[in-house]
Amino acid sequence: MNRLDRATEWAEAMDEPFLCLGDSDECQDFAEAFIGLVEDDLPKAVYSKEKVIEVFVKRDGMTWEEAVEFFDFNVGGSYMGEQTPLFIETFEPMEFTIEPLEP
């Protein structure tokens, strides 16, 4: 059982549902990126930005740069209602090498 599964069980037991990334079929794709919940008026899921981007690279075959652009435009910059997930920079070591931009 991963962290997302435990949070889902807690949310169901507390009758406090939260919004996770992706539809019901994709939610587990982002389980490794899931960090936890913020208990506000309504609980909000918290994800590692780097790990979400990693999912796009591994799952969807994007380059790192494509995945960052996709995240910024379609995920990080979207509003999904009061329970829009939060994304934090975790500064974790990344599996992928990022080439420096040329001047």
Residue 67 CB-density burial (10 A; 0-12 exposed, 13-18 middle, 19+ buried) = buried
For 84, other C-beta atoms within 10 Å of its C-beta total 12
Write the pLDDT tens digit of every residue in 30-73: 999 999 999 888 999 999 999 999 999 999 999 999 999 999 99
Q: How far is it, in rounded angstroms, from Cα 6 to Cα 90?
A: 21
Q: How far is it, in rounded angstroms, from Cα 61 to Cα 90?
A: 23
Q: Is 60 helix (H, G, I), strand (E, B) or coil?
A: helix
Q: Is residue 78 scored above 50 in pLDDT?
A: yes
Q: Is residue 101 scored above 50 in pLDDT?
A: no
Sequence ranges of the domains in the chain? 3-88
> C-alpha angle 66/99/33, rounded to 5°?
50
Antiparallel, parallel or unpaired: β 86-88 and 43-48: parallel
